[in-house]
Amino acid sequence: MSKRNEKYKMSTAARKENRYGLAFVTPPFIGFCLFMAFPIVFAFIASLTKWNGMNNMLDNFVGLRNYIKLFTDEKFWKVLLNTIIYMIGIPCGMILGVVIALGMNRKIRGIKVLRTMYYIPVISSLVAVSILWAWVFNYDYGLFNSIIKAVSGVHGPNWLGDEFWVKVSMIIFMTWKGLGTAIILYLSGLQSIPRDYYEAAKIDGASGWTLFKHITWPLVSPVTFYLLITGIIGGFQVFVEIVVMVPNGGLNYSAATVVFYLYEKAFTNNQMGYASAMAFVLAIIIFIVTAINFVGQNKWVKTID
């Protein structure tokens, strides 16, 4: 009798708990459905139609034609390549980040000021810093070309107006943009490495480079992994800096990214269906690259445990 009662009581409590649990889960779940799941399903349906924002989407079903067209669209491949080229900025930012973090990981005067300075790009408005960099890259009056002219007497390149240099400009910008986060994360990674690892290695006669190669770098690899994943996902979605710095997508579309092209298709040229297909393909590419990274991480990401 008592056992049955106990069981009954337990399950009531559990049920109540479940109910409250559900009540708390419901709002974010509704939020997810409204703002994530629904748009994803909507975009997928749209990608199978000739929807232009005005016509009735379901009356204009075209099957997989948008996807087929996308794969033969030279411009799409061009912007995809541009987007991937800009990602050169990710490893550059990481290498610089780790070097600067190593420099900052010691007691020097004014370290807090330095850390703040390096982190400012991260908390600044992307539009504002993009405008600033457009000036840095200015052909006649820009900082870079002024320095080049002062040092060598030669006029520097047309950074944002030339098909090649616009890519270099964007890589420089991406490197700079990612630097703050990289430094802060590497710094925290460095500070969590126990001192005794280094002491033990030093007793065995390890040099500075060996210490870095065999202790520091492997033990900050989770940070490297995190930066790589977020960098790649963000890299595929670059948009604002292009719109601000090269509003027409660059000479011969040399600066345009996938999202820039997608936006133009959707909102300038009213090809919502086609743009939705592009968004889907982009999402799949990001998913595949991220999955590869996750599978591959076992080979190189080490933890202290």
Partner 1 sequence: MKKKVISAILVAAMMTGCLTACGADGGAKGKQTVSIFVFGNDQEQAIYTDMFKAFEEANNCTVEAQMCIKDDYNTTLTGMMTAKDLPDVFYMGPEAVSQYVANGYAMEITPVLDELGLSTDDLPQDILASYSIDGKLYGLPHDASVFAYAYNKDLFDAEGIPYPDPNKPYTYEEFVEICQKFTKDTDGDGEIDQWGMGAANPFMFYQYVWSNGASFLSDDYKTVTIDTPEFKDALQKYVDLTLKYGVTPTVEQDASLGVYQRWLAGQEAFYACGTWDVAAFMDKEVFPYEWDLCGYPTLSTGISTTWCGTVGYAVNASTKNKDLATKLAYFMSADPDGNRTLSGITTGASIQLPNLISMANGEFKDAIADGSLPFPNNTEVFFNYLNGSDGYAGKFMESTYTPNGEWIDIFFNSLDTVKNGSVTVDDYIAQMQPQMQEALDNAWESVQ
Give whichever of 161 and 222 is closer to partner 1, judged by the CB atom: 161
Express the helix, strand and coil content of the chain in percent, nearest 5 each.
Answer: 75, 0, 25
Give whichever of 19 and 214 is closer to partner 1, judged by the CB atom: 19
Helix boundaries (H) for 124-238: 126-136, 143-152, 165-191, 195-203, 208-211, 217-219, 221-236
DSSP-assigned letter for residue 61: B
Which neighbouring-strand residues pair with 61?
Answer: 49
Alpha-carbon distance of 113 to 244, in angstroms, equals 29
Q: Which residues contact partner 1 (rule: CB under 8 A)?
A: 20, 23-24, 26-27, 30-31, 34, 50, 52-56, 138-142, 158, 160-161, 248-249, 251-253, 264, 267-272
Beta carbon of residue 296, minimum distance to partner 1 (angstroms, whole number): 38
Instruction: Tell me how far CA of residue 166 lies from CA of 78, 148, 153, 158, 246, in angstroms.
Output: 14, 17, 22, 8, 9
Alpha-carbon distance of 157 to 40, in angstroms, equals 43
Give whichever of 27 and 110 is closer to partner 1, judged by the CB atom: 27
Give whichever of 23 and 295 is closer to partner 1, judged by the CB atom: 23
Q: Which of 55, 57, 31 is nearest to 45 (CA)?
A: 57
Beta carbon of residue 188, minimum distance to partner 1 (angstroms, whole number): 33
Beta carbon of residue 175, minimum distance to partner 1 (angstroms, whole number): 22
Question: Is the separation of the CB atoms in 82 and 260 below 8 Å?
Answer: no
Beta carbon of residue 3, minimum distance to partner 1 (angstroms, whole number): 28
Beta carbon of residue 60, minimum distance to partner 1 (angstroms, whole number): 9
Give whichever of 181 and 271 is closer to partner 1, judged by the CB atom: 271
Determine the length of the chain.
Answer: 305
Q: String of b and e for 66-105 (b: at least 16 CB within 10 Å)?
A: bbeebeebeebebbbebbbebbbbbebbbebbbebbbebb
Beta carbon of residue 14, minimum distance to partner 1 (angstroms, whole number): 16
Give whichever of 124 and 270 is closer to partner 1, judged by the CB atom: 270
